[in-house]
Structure 1
Amino acid sequence: MKKIILAFAALFLMVQASQAQLLPSFKLGVKGALNFSSLKSDGKWLNSDTKTGYQLGVWGRVGIAGFHVQPELYYSQKKAGFDPTEDAEAGEVTIKSMDLPILLGTRIGLGPLGVRIQAGPVFSFAQDGKFDIKTATNFADYKKTSTGIIGGVGADIRNFTVDLRYEHGLNNLSESSNQKQKISMWSIGVGYAFL
């Protein structure tokens, strides 16, 4: 009799746990991050130094059955320094954009503590199509939109989040096909979920 009661109790707990994972969850929050970006080029015409920028924005997360979708929207300032070449002096480029990553991921953990793995596309829209360019005349023509892929790990501690991510540009940022440039960026951010 005890074995039957224990078996029913175990079955009841497994059903409750599986139903809890099938219920959708929703979070909404704010975030800020430091990013460390550089421009990569085909060939050796560009030697980009890594510079520090920032991100500020909002995020949401909808999860069900252990997986989630996390769209974000943030204002981003990405910087890259470059060494002198035959065509330009040493300088720095600053790219100001609205970025929209759409991350797919999973969370491992219980209750308020958890570790996340996420990846997905990121779409960037330059603000007014303008770029802050210092001393470099050949950086004048940039595209107003770009796409990339982003991935990383994160942790949830109650309502706080911490993320470490890598972003790699997929398309040429320059209007010139002879001077192909792609963004490469690491970021570390913190956030707070108020819902």
Structure 2
Amino acid sequence: MKKFFITAFLLTSAIVGANAQLLPSLQFGVKAGLNFSSLKSDNEKYLDASTRTGYQAGVWARIGGAGVHFQPELYVTGKSSEAKLVEQNEEGKVSFTSLDLPLLLGTRIGMGPAGLRIVAGPVVSFVVDKNIANTFTEQVLNVDDYKNQAWAVTGGLGLDISNFRVDLRYEHGLSELSKNDSAPQKLNLWTVGVGYRLF
């Protein structure tokens, strides 16, 4: 009888432990990083843009257990680009400050405190500030020519080491930022971020 109870206890513990791995979990943390963005026109005849360095800072959450997880994030992001208007032969700087909301699906490879993550999903950006350097005349390019909301898709790799997080992603702009149909523009960027899990 004693052996029966020991066997039953061990079996029950194993089943509970296995089910616990499948239960949804919640993580929350902070993150900061750099982005390397460029503003491109589709035909490359209107706008020739070089990459510039920006920033991002905010929070993230991760919901899910083993297998697939959902990871919403919210950042304040500064994006900028050195731009040259090809036809007008004028150069200047275009910059945006936005609230970015990535809604990511991902999976984690690895057990315990270390693991590799793969994530992808849409990003919606709400522009809160726009600035165009004075070298661009208002007749050529004006802040009012840019929309206040944009969509993009992002994907990349992440590494978990204990409570620390490192991410490398590429974000491809889907929305035309310019209201001027004759001057279509999209913003593409790479991001490198470091995060910390609070709980």
Same fold (TM over 0.5): yes
The answer for the alignment partner of 1:132 in structure 2 is 131
Mapped partners of 2:177, 2:85: distance in 1: 20
Amino acid at match of 1:139: L
Q: Does 1:174 align with 2:174?
A: no
The answer for the alignment partner of 1:68 in structure 2 is 69
CA shift, 1:172, in A, is: 0.3
The answer for the alignment partner of 2:3 in structure 1 is none
Q: Tell me: CA distance 1:173–1:84, structure 2 relative to 1, closer, same or farther (3 Å).
A: closer
Deviation readout 1:44-81 (Å, 9 max, x if unpaired): 22111000000010011011232110100000000111
Q: Secondary structure at the match of 1:100?
A: strand
CA shift, 1:16, in A, is: 5.5
Moved beyond 6 Å, runs of 4+ = 11-14
Q: Does 1:183 align with 2:187?
A: yes
Deviation readout 1:136-165 (Å, 9 max, x if unpaired): 233311000000001000000111000000
Deviation readout 1:22-56 (Å, 9 max, x if unpaired): 11111101000100000121222211100000001
Deviation readout 1:84-140 (Å, 9 max, x if unpaired): 52325111111110000001000011111011000000000010xx41110223331
Q: Secondary structure at the match of 1:77?
A: strand
Q: Does 1:27 align with 2:31?
A: no
The answer for the alignment partner of 2:99 in structure 1 is 98
Mapped partners of 2:12, 2:66: distance in 1: 18
CA shift, 1:19, in A, is: 1.5
TM-score relative to the length of structure 2: 0.87
TM-score relative to the length of structure 1: 0.88
The answer for the alignment partner of 1:54 in structure 2 is 55
Are the aligned partners of 2:24 and 2:63 in contact in 1 as well (CA < 8 Å)? yes
Mapped partners of 1:35, 1:14: distance in 2: 45
Q: Does 1:159 align with 2:163?
A: yes
The answer for the alignment partner of 2:84 in structure 1 is 83
Mapped partners of 2:171, 2:17: distance in 1: 35
The answer for the alignment partner of 1:5 in structure 2 is none
The answer for the alignment partner of 1:4 in structure 2 is none
Amino acid at match of 1:161: R
Q: Tell me: CA distance 1:112–1:103, structure 2 relative to 1, closer, same or farther (3 Å).
A: same
Q: Tell me: CA distance 1:139–1:21, structure 2 relative to 1, closer, same or farther (3 Å).
A: farther
Q: Secondary structure at the match of 1:101?
A: strand
Are the aligned partners of 1:21 and 1:66 in contact in 2 as well (CA < 8 Å)? no
Q: Secondary structure at the match of 2:125?
A: strand
Which blocks of at least 5 consecutive residues in structure 1 are unaligned? Answer: 1-7
Which blocks of at least 5 consecutive residues in structure 2 are unaligned? Answer: 1-7
CA shift, 1:15, in A, is: 4.4
Amino acid at match of 2:107: T
Are the aligned partners of 2:42 and 2:186 in contact in 1 as well (CA < 8 Å)? no
Q: Secondary structure at the match of 1:139?
A: coil
CA shift, 1:83, in A, is: 2.5
Q: Does 1:40 align with 2:40?
A: yes
Aligned residue pairs, count: 186
